[in-house]
Amino acid sequence: MNNIESLNHNNDLKKGLKKMHVQMVALGGVIGSAYFYGLGGLMSMTGPAAFLAFAFGGILVFSTLYCLGELLVAMPVTGSFISYSREFISDGFAAGVGWTYWVAIIVYIPSECIVTGTIMNMYVPQLSVLMWAIIAAVFLSIINLGQVSNLGKIESVLALTKVMAIVIFTILAILICLGVIGTQGAPGTANLLQEGGLFPLGVLAVFLNMSIIVMNFAGIEIIALTAGETENPSAVMPSAVRAGAFRIFFLFVIPSFLIATIYPWTAASYDESAFSAALAYNGFTALSHIFNMIIIVAAFSCANCNLYAAIRAMYSLSKEGMAPKQMGYVTNKGVPIMAAGFSLILVWIIIFVYTFDTSGLFYVYLLATSGVATVFCWGSICISQFIFRRRLYAEGLSERNLKFYTPLFPLPNVLGLAILVFTLIITAYSADLRLSLYIGLPCFIIPYAIFETISKSGKFKIKKEIDFKDVLKEIKSTHYLIK
């Protein structure tokens, strides 16, 4: 029986993701080739203080994740930030966020396939970059058309490989910095303070590149898309949120600081991985090649997680009536087959167009939506949680009635939104980054205008996936309620 014939008529996803799977999928979506390659470019534009940009971005991640965690535990549904936006902001805003997010992810996935192909072509030139990219895309397709439990297991292995590589690099970098190993002696703080000091291009340079930081952290919100397929989400989500927030610090801030201590910022660039370059600079050429293999794992893993996210976002848009009904069809194995097929077709098309577009302009234009999509997505989470909490207070309840809540409310919301607005302003200010607004904003505004108009006309009758009245009843009728 084919997939179309074996559709699950309830259109329900299977709860096949365990605690470890959720944490690894979230990390897998963040740690991609953009981090390993992008760090060198960021250092070249900020100097050694690039690690401070990651630390500042970490505040945004903490704020967003904790706001998301509160919503996820109280209202666990797949594609949750789309559903939250519809219930707590508006139909139009939910459509704008959902479609912008889906477009940005679909465009991003082929880039990781091309990175995989580029590196593999260096070591096995008998196969072209395109052929290696196609092989990567084939495996991605197979994994994402299978059961979610298998995807979770595969991604756990891939994500753990990346995490262990960063941990090993961190240990090596500390030993190099202290002069225990390496060919450059004990650099200590020399690379941090020489060549213009910590801020050779000015303190403002750190903040002017916030949009790059936001793009590096994009993917952490994938945890929201796992909620409907997670076993016991009320128990899994709090620990996943806390772990995700703290791992961002250990996997981004500390390694970027150590690279700045063992590798001159003036030698860093987008042309090569700062991790591999730093190891080679200190005499570990063989290890730098091994790290190139890790980048392949990172690229494939990130593409895998983002494809999962794109499929679930399209499924969620369908359930909310903002995409064709057929996109909500699910097989008996719990695979949203139509959403997967539609997403994969576009991924394959973009891979071929990107490969044959020698100017590269087509892909640059499409990829420019990623940063704007992340800003809207994270902004919707902070706003939704703020409105959720205010409605909770209006009913005479408080955060003490929730299993998991955002501390210091509303400070995380204010901080998160302030940083996101600042990021948009910086993006508009920069001539190099302004293109992302020209392309990203229409992706949000067009579906927003369409569904906001339909909603106000009274013709939009699709039932919401989340209704605050039902959530309130659940809170009042279970052990959430304080005696």
CATH classification of the domain holding 385 = 1.20.1740.10
142: left (phi > 0), else alpha (psi -120 to 50), else beta? alpha
Q: What is the pLDDT of residues 380-397, one digit of tens each?
A: 999 999 999 999 999 999
> Does residue 251 belong to any structural domain of this protein?
yes
Q: State the pLDDT confidence band at 365, using cuts at 50, 70 and 90.
A: low
Residue 330 lies in a domain: yes
429 within some domain: yes
Residue 1: pLDDT band with limits 50, 70, 90: very low
pLDDT of residue 35: 85
Q: Which of the two residues, 362 and 249, has the higher pLDDT score?
A: 249
Total domains present in the chain: 1
Please compute the mean of the pLDDT values over residues 305-334 and round it to a whole number: 92
Structure token pair of residue 394: 């209006």
What pLDDT is recorded for position 23?
A: 78
Query: Which sign does the torsion angle of CA 249, 254, 256, 257 carry?
Result: positive
In this predicted structure, what is the pLDDT of residue 27? 75
pLDDT of 482 higher than 50:
no
Residues 194-240: pLDDT tens digits?
Answer: 888 889 988 888 887 777 788 778 888 888 778 777 877 778 888 88
Calculate mean pLDDT across residues 340-352: 92
Cα 47 to chain centroid, rounded: 25
What is the overall mean pLDDT for the chain? 86
Confidence of residue 288 (pLDDT cuts 50, 70, 90): confident
Supply the pLDDT for residue 393: 94
272 inside domain? yes
Going by pLDDT thresholds of 50, 70 and 90, the confidence category of residue 5 is: very low
CB atoms within 10 A of CB 401: 17
What confidence tier does 80 reach under pLDDT thresholds 50, 70, 90?
confident
How confident is the model over 32-71, as pLDDT tens digits?
A: 888 888 888 889 888 999 999 888 888 888 899 899 999 9
Q: Report the percent of the chain where pLDDT is more than 90.
A: 38
pLDDT of residue 260: 92
Structure pTM?
A: 0.89
Query: Average pLDDT in the 374-379 region?
Result: 92
Q: pLDDT digit string (tens) for 149-174? A: 888 888 889 888 998 999 999 999 99
In this structure, is residue 237 part of a structural domain? yes
278 lies in some domain: yes
Read off the pLDDT band of 367 (50, 70, 90). Answer: low
Whether 482 is in a domain gets the answer: no
Give the mean model confidence (pLDDT) for residues 274-280: 91
Whole-angstrom Cα distance, residue 461 to residue 87?
14
483 part of a folded domain: no
Q: What is the pLDDT of residue 194?
A: 81
What pLDDT score does 7 carry? 38
Confidence check: pLDDT of 2 > 50: no
Measured distance CA(374)–CA(103) in Å, rounded: 11
pLDDT at residue number 360: 66
Would you state the pLDDT for residue 368? 64
Range of the domain at 200: 7-477
Average pLDDT over residues 452-479: 85
Q: Write out pLDDT tens, residues 92-146.
A: 999 999 999 999 899 889 888 988 888 899 899 999 988 999 999 999 999 999 8
